[in-house]
Structure 1
Amino acid sequence: MHSCEEQTWKVGPLAEASGLTVRTLHHWDQIGLLPPSRRTASGHRAYTEHDLVRLYQILALRRLGLGLETIATCLDAGIDPRRLVREHLAATEASLTALHTLRERLEHLHTELAAERAPGTADLLRLVQAVGATAPAADEVLRRHLDDDQLHALADHAAALGPAAHYLLEVEWPQLYRRAEALRTAGTDPADPRVGRIAARLDELSRLFSGGDTTLSAAVRAAWREDPAALSGDPTTPADAWAPLHAFLDQAREVSR
């Protein structure tokens, strides 16, 4: 008789197959969210079919808008797989419907522009509504911490900045955080002027987008603490990355006061 040994996956191939990074899988192992069931003789991670089931559950729950801490609680309490798949399917169908609508409206707008016809107000409004229906994960995280009035205020402040808002929010802000994190992990003293300049610029950007509303700023910071990967646009950002970086920047602010 031949023994039937269970198939396992090393971290690299599993990361590639799942669209995640090795760093993310390592982090999920370290926080106990997805520890591999086995280790090779040399100590390398070896994921089993049971681990793949848990990985799917994690990814599905993230798609449904849950943070990693909540996901861990749900998995530890036990999940009905039929319910999870049903809810994931419903969310996927809703996303497909929204994307189909967006595609139709973009095609209509493209046709109008190709014919050198200016799109009407109604067409633009329908397009805006379709784009809003396909909001990215960052918007979902913000909605768990900001009410409608705060979301509108955030949008109004961003609109007031004009075209610069996109650069400030999508380019400069993440770059500042990456630079600060690089300094922190390198063991830089928070009193270093480089850290102080980054903290000061981050505070300036925060005032621009919040209009100086400290309650609004606090809500946005809470969203960053919950899911820094979604807010930064970098899915490899560990869930626990925000707290030490936030403390590092706060120390720099204290020095400059």
Structure 2
Amino acid sequence: MLETGGQLWSIGELATLCGATVRTLRYYDQIGLFPATGRTDSGHRRYSEEDVRRLYRIRALRALGLSLEQVREVLAASPDDAGAVRRLLASQLSALRDQAEQALRLQRQIQTLLDNMGDAMPGVDQFISILEGMTMYEKYFTEEQRAELAQRRDELGPAAVEDARTTLASLVEEGLSHLSAKTPVDDPAVRDFARRWDELGSQFHSNDETKAVARNMWQENSPELSAALPWPADRLQELVTYLQRVRDAG
């Protein structure tokens, strides 16, 4: 019997409205998941506002990865009230946020590739090196820590990041000269060098936890990480050890 109160939609109108196909809606009807509220005298399906809300729930649950049978079970166990819809909306919002975070991670990865290209097309070995570096980065830093580091870089801006790279290169040369001269770790000049090194690192790390993770990543992967740097990996490792001795000395 055809419902007369409220707005009604034909199957074609509802398919256009929600972006589904008529074939899909007919199939949902055939399996009893989404029957039409009523039919015209000539047998054409007509859908009500309540049907529209049910269809939204079906499509939202499908978007969350549930099978049709699982959707049926959820709808049977959870009445179509405000609380049930609120929980569904919260779940869908959480899933969308996860997808957005994945998109941001992909964006950062692509930006890393672009940043390492320069003006010339890198060779396959360079692409492999970059990809290995990204894998290593994700292995050591949590998702939250990676987001924090990316935010710090964005806040500093490209000019400040480039200045930091120049300063770091100068500090490395200064530290290696102290190593070669075997300057005592309690020497005031060395302490000043270590202070400036740590201050530079603090621009990119807001807490000691990410600093410790970065040091651990370097210690365990210094040959790979230093492959593209102009200093020998063993000397850089000696410098990192030397810096820690200076910190321990007070």
TM bucket, shorter chain: 0.3 to 0.5
Q: Which has the higher contact order (CA 8 A, sep 6+)?
A: 1
TM-score by length of 2: 0.45
The higher radius of gyration belongs to 2
Provide TM-score, normalisation by structure 1: 0.44
